Amino acid sequence: MATSLGPSKRSLSSTLTDLYQSRGLLLGLLATLIGLIFIIITPASAQQLQQDSAGKLFLIESDSVLLRLHIDDIGSALFQAGLTIALFQVLLNRIAEDRFAERVDLSLGEHEKTIRLAVGKSLAVSDSINHLQLSPEELEKVIVNAVRLRTKNSELGIVIGRKLRSGVFEARETWRNLTVRADIFALEQKAISGKQFDYYDVYYQFGYHTTNTSRSRFALKVARWRDEYDKYLRDEELGAVWRLPSTGEFDDDWQAGFTLVDVSYGGVHLDFQVNEVEREYITHLPVEDVHDRDDILVQYTFNAKILCDGNLMSFEVPRPTFSATYSISIGVNDIERVRAFDYFGLTRPASIGYSPTLNNVRNISISVDDWILPKAGALIVWKRKPSAST
């Protein structure tokens, strides 16, 4: 059973604010109220029938300011006009909301097509990665394609953020305060290792708070390059997925390309087992100890190899996530230039920092304080020194 991200709470002040922003509806209700008040305070009749001492009947005109000003007629006109304005305003707002919902659906469809096209182009390039040596011009093309992944529709970003906060998008599991650390700490050259390509050794550390405290096991899947990575990424039974390098050199000996170091759940370090057939690391979670808590901290660390001449390292979010921080350290000397880009789909770009200088980057920080939809994330793109990549 899917659970929403939490219902929205409306107060009297927010309701009055919405009413104020809908000027036509406010004007109609105000005119209706004033007209009703005028009708109520006006005397019922302008003439009164009286009898004198001789028993003769005669009419006396009522001398009232309200009657002389015809307040009752004015009140009736205001009441009818205000009621008409209010009804038309409600109808127009309903039509406008329906049209806006259609525009949002259309924008989402177009954005999905853009993402599929970008991913398809990326996979097409990856198939010929064996012969890829990026020139500065080719690197610029990679950068441009990465930037295209980010939506530039600010209105769409606002709608998505509001719907996430109001519980319109449903998910069995959501993450909060995602923290990712990646350290490129060593270079494994093909001449020394006996491999056909150079690889970087990278230390990864992930941590996040999850709302799914009913999961009894944590499985980390190691996928080969040509496996159905997207299917694994969306598998709710898997805790994480890692993809082996596109060269295929580690497909058979997958543990040489990936090693799980540690898994902790709620601050407790857990033992794990290796399923070599399924290429999975599995550990059982002590859910009985945390069933009364709203969320729990999940952390795991591992070492993995990435292709040096792949020139790209990406971080995708598999679950709806609020707030994320990425920290990437460059500990090798053959990377000449490095840049970071995000495709979170937010109303504004993420905060990206480089240190110590832009021309000599050793550390990159990326932070975002908003909702991130699945399949969004960040990219790190680099250029190797000519002496190292030739």
CB-based contact 342:353 (threshold 8 Å): no
Domain-wise residue ranges, the chain: 13-42+60-127, 128-389
| Chunked mean pLDDT (size 10), the chain, 390 residues | 40 53 68 75 60 63 60 73 70 62 64 61 48 54 51 51 53 87 94 91 95 84 85 78 91 93 91 92 83 77 94 87 93 92 74 91 92 84 74
Q: pLDDT value at position 81?
A: 75
**What's the topology of domain 128-389?**
Immunoglobulin-like (2.60.40)
- Using DSSP bridges, classify how beta strands 258-265 and 268-270 pair: parallel, antiparallel or unpaired: antiparallel
Rounded Cα distance between 71 and 67, Å, is: 6
Q: Which of 192, 181, 199, 329 is nearest to 262 (CA)?
A: 181
CB-based contact 35:77 (threshold 8 Å): yes
- Using DSSP bridges, classify how beta strands 312-316 and 351-356 pair: parallel, antiparallel or unpaired: unpaired
3-class secondary structure per residue, 147-211: HHCCCCCHHHHHHHHHHHHHCCCEECCCEEEEEEEEEEEEEECHHHHCCCCCEEEEEEEEEEEEC
Residues 212-237 have pLDDT tens digits of 877 788 899 999 988 887 777 777 77
Residues 324-362 have pLDDT tens digits of 999 999 999 999 889 998 887 665 678 999 999 988 899
Torsion of CA 335, 177, 305, 118, to 10 degrees: -70
> What is Dmax (Cα atoms) for the chain?
133
